[in-house]
Homo-oligomer: A and B are copies of this chain.
Amino acid sequence: MSGRAAARDPQQDRSRATRQRLLEAAVACLAEYGWTGSTVTVVAERAGVSRGAAQHHFPTREDLFTAAVEHVAEERSAAVLALSGDLPPEGSSARTAVIVRWLVDLYTGPLFRAALQLWVAASNEERLRPRVTALEARVGRETHRMAVELLGVDESVPGVRETVQGLLDMARGLGLANVLTDDRARRERVVEQWARILDDQLNQANQDRS
């Protein structure tokens, strides 16, 4: 890399910062106003960016919102993985409980609300559908990979893959249950119980393997 390329380019920095602001504003708007209420103009205003600048970064509305959900999902996954050094010891029930809680938390914030809005809009809009289908497949694979890594499980053991998938389906269902009401109290009891069940199951799978 030449010295010139390595030096900070203030214009590039500004462009990157603008892009970042647009992505975050897009997720916030989707979560708050839904797909119908989230136009490029509304997002640009919230980000404090001109409509022209928004369209320079994201030529279409579909580009902006799919990029936004993907970007925020990547940031959240990275944040979770960054914390994994602080987990309770491997093989402990306490560790499983924390991991299940983290995974469920991925589905209960503004990011999930935004993704849900996009998901449901895509089921009725042909232009959005293939984009969101591909996005959800990528985010879903990434979340699954992260769950397997955190839990330290061996997916070659029969049933383990489906156990983890079902756990993520449960997390998604808990996310949906939290959209209209604050479902935290009930969710915590369900998470505690299923973390216990999951821990049993994964210990059994480990014993079957060894």
Q: Which residues of B contact A102 (CB under 8 A)?
A: none
Top 3 A-B residue pairs of the complex, sorted by shortest distance between their CB atoms: A172-B173, A173-B173, A169-B173
Contact A136 B169 (CB under 8 A): no
- Summarize A's interface: helix, strand, loop or mixed: helix
Within 8 A of B (CB), among A158-179: 159, 162-163, 165-166, 168-177, 179
Q: Which residues of B contact A122 (CB under 8 A)?
A: 180
Q: Which residues of B contact A120 (CB under 8 A)?
A: 34, 116-117, 120, 179
The answer to whether A186 has its CB under 8 Å from any CB of chain B is yes
Question: Could you write out 19 A-B pairs with CB less than 8 Å apart?
Answer: A32-B124, A34-B121, A113-B123, A116-B120, A119-B176, A120-B120, A120-B179, A162-B190, A163-B194, A166-B194, A166-B197, A169-B190, A170-B173, A172-B172, A173-B176, A176-B176, A197-B197, A197-B201, A200-B200
